[in-house]
A = this chain, B = another copy of it.
Amino acid sequence: MNGNPSEPNEIDELMKELIAGGPQKKMTAKQQRIMESAIEIFLEKGFAAASTSEIAQRAGVAEGTIFRHYKTKKDLLFSITVPMLIRLFQPIAIGDFTPVLDTAYASFEDFLRSVLKNRYDFARKHLPVIRILLQEIPFQPELREQFFSSVAEQIGGRMTAVMVHFQEKGEIVPLPSASAIRMWLSVLVGFVGTRLLILPDADWDDEAEMERCIRFIMNGMKA
């Protein structure tokens, strides 16, 4: 319908903002409320089934006000999800995860533990938006592209370097790095996903469970 692909799109704008430094600083109180309501409703019903009128109502603003701040409903979705997508896979840029990837890191085990703890806390804190992200990625090609470029940049870049580093140090077995990364990532994602999404109400001992994950991975990869 709309969507001239050559003109600069919403995601590019968001990227620029994020890269430039800080994001949407000057959100008015109304804009803030719109975003919060949108998160709630996108989470409950999914993007396609959410209506802007319900978002406006819950935010306590007029319908038109949403479109003053966000050109389309999709822009509203992206303004919620894209920054999260970036923060999820660009912990360096955001700054709350930097030391982990420092190759001077003592051991692979410490690295794993640090990544797990850090990303688990992050996911826990931002669960609703991450959920929306997961729910909408199948339907939004723009999100998917953003996902791949984010992941490629991080995994293809730093993570491979990390794996090579520890393999050269002889700490872990010399698997193809893509396979190796997928192994430990699967276990960590398996834990975080089960913990937060699938069985959030189970009786969890987080510390013990995380330690078991680390032990399992370390054994599995022991050189």
A interface residues (Cβ-Cβ under 8 A, vs B) = 45-46, 48-49, 131, 134-135, 138-139, 175, 179, 182-183, 185-187, 189-191, 194, 209, 212-213, 215-217, 219-222
Question: Which residues of chain B have C-beta atoms less than 8 A from A189's C-beta?
Answer: 186, 190
6 nearest A-B pairs in the assembled complex, by CB-CB distance: A186-B190, A220-B220, A48-B48, A216-B220, A48-B49, A219-B220
Determine whether the beta carbon of B182 is less than 8 Å from that of A191: yes
For this complex, 6 residue pairs linking A to B, each with C-beta atoms less than 8 Å apart, are: A48-B48, A182-B194, A183-B187, A183-B190, A183-B213, A217-B220
**Protomer copies:** 4
Question: Which residues of chain B have C-beta atoms less than 8 A from A191's C-beta?
Answer: 182, 186
Most chain B CB inside 10 Å of its own CB: which residue of A131, A187, A216: A216
Question: Which residues of chain B have C-beta atoms less than 8 A from A217's C-beta?
Answer: 220
Determine whether the beta carbon of B138 is less than 8 Å from that of A46: yes
With A46-B138, A49-B139 given, name 16 new contacts (CB 8 A). A45-B48, A45-B139, A48-B49, A134-B138, A135-B135, A135-B138, A182-B194, A183-B187, A183-B212, A185-B190, A186-B189, A186-B191, A187-B187, A216-B221, A217-B220, A219-B221
**Nearest-Cβ distance from residue A216 to partner chain B, whole angstroms:** 4
A215–B179 CA distance with the chains assembled, in angstroms: 12
Nearest residue in B to A193 (C-beta to C-beta)?
Answer: B186
**Nearest-Cβ distance from residue A63 to partner chain B, whole angstroms:** 11
Question: Which residues of chain B have C-beta atoms less than 8 A from A179's C-beta?
Answer: 209, 212
